[in-house]
């Protein structure tokens, strides 16, 4: 039963992670085929995260009320339908609109999945494994979609991944019943959650922001072919598969959490150099490993601080990261029009990430 619970949680994690990077992996191709600039391509991700961010707390509350498995499965259905619909018309405004709808689904899937893992398995390590699968989704999108040079690739693959996820969740065990929640849900605007939200925004949020543009950076500024830049850039997200479970073992080790932010900032700064390829690979690996560590402490910490509304608390923490992605992705894309082909933007992100070490305290960890 526990194995099926893990698989159900992993299916709910993989689809949001995949949708984080599926358009960014083919940014230049999407821009060419739609006849738009990179800033407009950034809006495909912005649109997804607009609804994804706005619905984090409502989806968390819905999980607290009717159960996370149902909320997560419904989210996967929405993602599959919106992604399939996006194939019907090659117009930027329509693709962006469908991504807006898909964000409703990723919100339900991600928050529902995290709360489902907490309710069925419960350990911080399990939360780390859940987060690892989310990062794996984004990493695989960056690694393989550049090999499929078509504007359809992000949408066909997203629809297929979400549809497969629905089948897996359908056979996953139900979460244990919980006490009925009354009409008045607890208020989760809790100042104690802010350090955790900052940690998650700087680790997950900023890694997704650079993940959407790292292939473009390595290709344009580093002169690396897109077929090589895709797998290289994928390390930024994919190595979270290793470090997020490790983060579940350091939930009460603030020194390690601070070091992870400093290492991630240093890695992003090195990545801004963009060449030679061995340095870019090493930098992407540093970022991928370091950025994964704070996930489990942030989510497990939020649920621990607010046992009266764990789904909503996790939703609040993740909402801050989603807003970071929402704002940061197009802004970083705009820096490619400045001298340096995006290097300035990557250096700014590096500084923000390193500065987040100041937010880590014993209470936050």
Cα distances from 152 to residues 34, 52, 89, 126, in angstroms, run 11, 22, 10, 34
Domain boundaries, the chain: 2-174+191-359
- Would you state the pLDDT for residue 164? 96
* Rounded Cα distance, 12 and 92, in Å: 28
**250 falls in which pLDDT band (50, 70, 90)?**
low
pLDDT (tens digit per residue) in 303-341: 787 877 777 788 888 888 888 887 888 788 888 888 887
* Rounded Cα distance, 316 and 248, in Å: 20
pLDDT (tens digit per residue) in 87-96: 999 999 999 9
Answer for the pair 292, 131: CB distance below 8 angstroms, yes or no: yes
What mean pLDDT comes out for the span 216-245? 77
pLDDT (tens digit per residue) in 140-188: 887 788 887 788 999 999 999 999 999 999 999 988 876 555 445 556 6
Answer for the pair 196, 254: CB distance below 8 angstroms, yes or no: no
- Would you state the pLDDT for residue 24? 80
In the chain, the N- to C-terminal Cα span, in Å, equals 31
- Would you state the pLDDT for residue 72? 95
Closest CA to 26 of 153, 159, 205: 153
- Would you state the pLDDT for residue 183? 47
The pTM is what? 0.75
Asked if the 2-174+191-359 domain carries CATH number 3.40.50.300, the reply is no
Answer for the pair 322, 53: CB distance below 8 angstroms, yes or no: yes
Cα distances from 246 to residues 242, 257, 277, 293, 302, in angstroms, run 7, 11, 28, 6, 18
């Amino acid at each position: 039963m526990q194995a099926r619970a893990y698989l159900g949680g992993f299916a709910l994690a993989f689809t949001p992670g995949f949708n984080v990077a599926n358009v960014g992996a083919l940014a230049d191709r999407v821009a060419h085929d739609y006849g738009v600039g990179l800033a407009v391509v950034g809006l495909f991700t912005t649109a997804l995260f607009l609804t994804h961010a706005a619905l984090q707390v409502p989806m968390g509350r819905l999980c607290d009320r009717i159960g996370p498995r149902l909320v997560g499965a419904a989210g996967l259905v929405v993602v599959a339908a919106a992604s399939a619909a996006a194939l019907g018309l090659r117009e930027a405004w329509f693709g962006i609109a469908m991504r807006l709808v898909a964000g409703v689904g990723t919100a339900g899937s991600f928050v529902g999945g995290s709360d489902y893992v907490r309710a069925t398995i419960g350990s911080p390590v399990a939360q780390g494994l859940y987060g690892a699968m989310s990062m794996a989704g984004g990493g695989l999108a960056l690694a393989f979609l550049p090999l499929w040079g078509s504007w359809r690739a992000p949408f066909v693959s997203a629809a297929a991944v979400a549809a497969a996820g629905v089948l897996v969740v359908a056979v996953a065990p139900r979460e244990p019943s919980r006490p009925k929640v009354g009409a008045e849900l607890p208020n989760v605007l809790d100042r104690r959650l802010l350090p955790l939200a900052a940690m998650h925004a700087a680790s997950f949020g900023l890694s997704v922001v650079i993940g959407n543009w790292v292939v473009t950076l390595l290709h344009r500024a580093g002169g690396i072919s897109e077929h090589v830049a895709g797998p290289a850039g994928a390390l930024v997200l994919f190595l979270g598969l290793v470090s997020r479970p490790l983060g579940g073992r350091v939930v009460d080790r603030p020194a390690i959490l601070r070091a992870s932010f400093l290492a991630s900032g240093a890695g992003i700064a090195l990545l801004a150099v963009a060449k030679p390829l061995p340095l870019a690979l090493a930098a992407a690996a540093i970022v991928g490993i370091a950025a994964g560590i704070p996930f489990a402490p942030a989510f497990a910490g939020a649920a621990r601080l607010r046992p009266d509304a764990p789904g909503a608390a996790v939703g609040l923490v993740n909402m801050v990261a989603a807003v970071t992605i929402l704002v940061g992705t197009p802004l970083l894309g705009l820096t490619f029009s400045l001298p340096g082909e995006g290097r300035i933007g990557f250096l700014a992100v590096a500084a923000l990430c390193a500065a987040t070490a100041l937010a880590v305290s014993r209470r936050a960890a």
